[in-house]
Amino acid sequence: MQDHVCDGVARPGRVSLKGVARAFLLMACVGLAGCQASNLGDGLGEGSAPSPVSNSTYGNGPVKIAVLLPSDPDMRVKAADIADGARMALDDLGDGQLMLDIRAFRSGSTQAVAEVRAASAAGVKMIIGPATNAEVSRIISGTTPPRPPILALIANNSAGGSNIWPLYGDAIDSALEGVGVAVAAKQKNIVVVHEAGFPAENLLRLREGIRIKGGTTVGFVPYPANGKNLSAAFANATPVFSKANTIVLLGGGEAIGQVIDILAAGEFGKSIATAIATSLIPEEIYKRPSAQGLMVAIPSTASVRVISERFKAKFGRTPSYDAAIGYDAVAVAAGLVRTGGPDSITVANLTSTQGFRAATGLFRFRPDGRIERRMIVHRIEDGSLKVIQEEGSGF
């Protein structure tokens, strides 16, 4: 289950900023049917609609894992997919050691706090969930350590509390994976172009990540989300563009296609050789002439093929990325218990620098309450993705 440290990063060739040779690093969703979505939890598998999740237990092992899932109608499929993925992981990997205590309730309630308190009192070893940032915030303010480690079903855009980690990556993660490739190619001076109003917390996280990767943030350039006066906004930032050889592009609203076209024309940022964007960019952008030759960084789903057919046979539908998240959350617990016994689900083991490799690829939980995911870098050619750098064997 644990992986090994990897040295070395592939260095891409220098790419012109103009026209179809412009390079963008994008992160797509990994819905296992191959869809693109605005975040890594949106991709849904094909097949029959799942039943709503209800309170239940699964397995009879001595190591209890609490699974806190939403009963909200708009999250019904996500909850069912996570639950089914978790059940399948227990069947595959539990070795008779685990029991899942599945609890379903509306995300707008305050029940998450009560469930965490009850889990702590009952000797639960790990909690999977809840599924919203608001619930995680309530847990942080309404409970105090010691409590079981929590793998929350949320994206990385909000840091967890003590011993709380998100399971989903986000747009900043994809951008930073691209930054690593750019820095390895000696393109270290980075300008960040973002929608006006992009969350300040995420911009700060991006800047810090750029620093850790070895790059330098030369400036931030906001653009109007309504797409008006884009050229003027970029013209005002000409001095900043002139300092950069890499651009990070954030945003996915109606204006993003215009932004790509304007920047690809080469009027601004003539010194820029590499550009990095995120999964916020709609899939239809890939078909634009200005998008051919762009690079795309996505998490690996190669391991999902190992479970896909069995999941479909068992549950009557293709597993979504959410199902793979549920599978991996239980796989982490099962792997630690198999290796170290029933008391091995600890903060120290969860935050091992080696990380874990499972259905959603290679990832590790950081001591600062975030998840770090390795990705595969592709280039868009004729509207499809061509691998140019593999995920690697470790961190």
Supply the pLDDT for residue 92: 93
Given this model, what pLDDT does residue 394 score?
67
Q: What is the pLDDT of residues 235-289, one digit of tens each?
A: 999 999 999 999 998 888 888 888 888 888 888 878 888 888 777 778 788 888 8
What is the model's pLDDT at position 19? 28
DSSP letter, residue 49: P
Edge-to-edge strands, sheet with 375-381: 25-26, 295-299, 375-381, 384-389
User: Can you spell out the DSSP letters for 248-267?
Assistant: EE---STTHHHHHHHHHTTS
Query: Two tokens at 143?
Result: 């409970």
Taking CA atoms, 220 is separated from 161, 201, 216, in Å, by: 29, 14, 12
- Residues of the chain by 3-state class (helix, strand, coil), percent to 5: 35, 25, 40
**DSSP H or E run through 166:** strand 164-168
d(CA 164, CA 127): 9
Phi, psi of 46 (to 5 degrees): -95, 150
Give the contacts of 378 (CB within 8 A, at least 6 positions apart). Answer: 295, 296, 297, 298, 385, 386, 387, 388
If we measure between CA atoms, which residue out of 244, 267, 248 comes closest to residue 19?
Answer: 267
Q: What pLDDT does residue 330 have?
A: 97
Confidence (pLDDT) at 160? 59
> Which of the residues in the chain have pLDDT under 70?
1-48, 157-161, 301, 393-394
258 CB-near residues (< 8 Å, 6+ apart): 227, 230
What are the structural domains, with CATH classification, of the chain? 19-33+171-300+375-389 (3.40.50.2300), 56-169+302-368 (3.40.50.2300)
pLDDT of residue 376: 81
Nearest to 297 by CA among 220, 233, 218, 379: 379
Quote the pLDDT of residue 387: 84
- Please tell me the distance from the alpha carbon of residue 113 to that of residue 94, in angstroms, as a whole number: 27
- Length of the chain as a residue count: 395
Confidence at residue 268, expressed as pLDDT on a 0 to 100 scale: 83
pTM over 0.95: no
3-class DSSP string for 104-157? EECCCCCHHHHHHHHHHHCCCCEEECCCCHHHHHHHHHHCCCCCCCEEEEEECC
